[in-house]
């Protein structure tokens, strides 16, 4: 059966090692994306991510972690089990391109809607990562208040 996927990419003006660490280290991730995690992303582990600002928890099953290159995990956070692949590439000294693909939704109306939603979600993740890495800003601050006000 054919599947639909979400794909996004962005450049972050930081060395690949710093960007990689910000993705796999829960302490750093809590400064721009999650509010807590049960541990770091390591191949063969299950990690629980907490989003206390919106009252959500997500379990991810980490499949692959390639130092400074790639992180792959699977989750059922968006319905069916999907696979997220984050590839990092140094495109010039001090600049890292982060490419994210999430795949696994069926090629039907609901699958396309979920993929579109995740495309927006992963774009937001990359904006949060970039704001944190380049300027020390946490774009998620005040998220719960924004959601209840709007």
> Mind listing the domains of the chain with CATH numbers?
3-143 (3.30.530.20)
| Burial track 32-41 (b if 16+ CB lie within 10 A, e otherwise) | bbbeebeebb
Query: Is the pTM value of this prediction over 0.85?
Result: yes
User: Could you list the mean pLDDT of each consecutive 10-residue stretch along the chain, which spans 150 residues?
Assistant: 88 98 96 94 96 89 98 92 97 97 94 94 96 93 55
Q: Strands (DSSP E) along the chain, which ranges?
A: 3-12, 36-37, 46-51, 56-66, 70-75, 82-92, 95-106
pLDDT value of position 98: 98
């Amino acid at each position: 059966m054919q599947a639909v996927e979400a794909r996004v990419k962005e450049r972050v003006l930081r060395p690949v090692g710093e960007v990689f660490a910000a993705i796999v280290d829960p302490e750093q991730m809590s400064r721009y994306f999650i509010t807590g995690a049960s541990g770091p992303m390591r191949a063969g582990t299950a990690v629980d991510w907490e989003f206390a600002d919106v009252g959500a928890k997500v379990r991810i099953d980490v499949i692959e972690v390639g130092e400074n290159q790639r992180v792959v995990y699977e989750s059922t956070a968006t319905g069916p089990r999907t696979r997220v692949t984050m590839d990092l590439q140094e495109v010039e000294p001090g600049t890292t391109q982060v490419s994210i693909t999430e795949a696994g939704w069926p090629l039907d109306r609901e699958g396309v809607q979920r993929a579109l939603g995740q495309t927006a979600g992963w774009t937001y993740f990359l904006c949060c990562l970039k704001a944190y890495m380049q300027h020390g800003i946490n774009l998620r601050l005040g998220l719960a208040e924004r959601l209840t006000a709007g």
